[in-house]
Amino acid sequence: MAAPIPEAWRNDVIRTLRTNDPHLINWTRPARQIWDADTFGDAQEYEAYDAMIAALEREGIEGNETTSHPGQVATYEFFFSFRNRPMYGKIALYEDRRRILILSAHRPNRPTL
C-alpha cells in the first residue's frame, strides 16, 4: 500500500534530477526504450526529469518502496504526470546519495501502485 515517500530520499533524487548530468543519472535500457515509445520519441530526457521533479516536490506524495540492489539506498515507485498524462516512475538512489537509476518512466500498467 502506498505511503508518503521520505523527504530525504525525495530531496536527494530531486537534486540529482536537476543536474541533468548523465554521469549522475542513468536509465535502464528498457526504461529508456519504453519512455521513447510512450512519448512517441518526441520527449527529451530533461522533460522526464522536470515532470518527475514536479511530482516529487509535492508534500506527501505517495509511493511504494521496492526492491533495491546492492549499492542502492532505496528504490521507490510513484505516479507523475507528463503532458497531462499519468505516468509511472521508479527510481533507485545509490548509496552515495548523488547517483540515481531510472528503472521506469512510462504510462501506468494499472491504476494503483
CATH code, domain carrying 27: 3.30.2310.40
Q: Does residue 14 lie within any of the structural domains?
A: yes
Q: Which residues contact 89 (CB under 8 A, 6 or more apart)?
A: 52, 55, 77, 78, 79, 80, 102, 104, 105
Q: Does residue 17 lie within any of the structural domains?
A: yes
Strands 25-27 and 62-66: unpaired
pLDDT of residue 5: 98
Identify the domain containing residue 67 by its residue range: 3-106
pLDDT of residue 1: 82
| Measured distance between the N- and C-terminal CA atoms of the chain, rounded to whole angstroms | 7
Are 92 and 77 in contact by the 8 Å Cβ rule? The answer is: no
Q: Does residue 112 lie within any of the structural domains?
A: no
* Polymer length in residues for the chain: 113
Are 94 and 72 in contact by the 8 Å Cβ rule? The answer is: yes
Domain count, the chain: 1
Strand, coil or helix: 87: strand
| pTM as predicted | 0.95
Scanning the structure block, which residue is given the C-alpha cell 543519472?
Answer: 25
86: closest CA among 105, 102, 108, 64? 108
Low-confidence ranges of the chain (pLDDT < 70): none
In degrees rounded to 5, what are phi and psi of residue 73? -75, -55
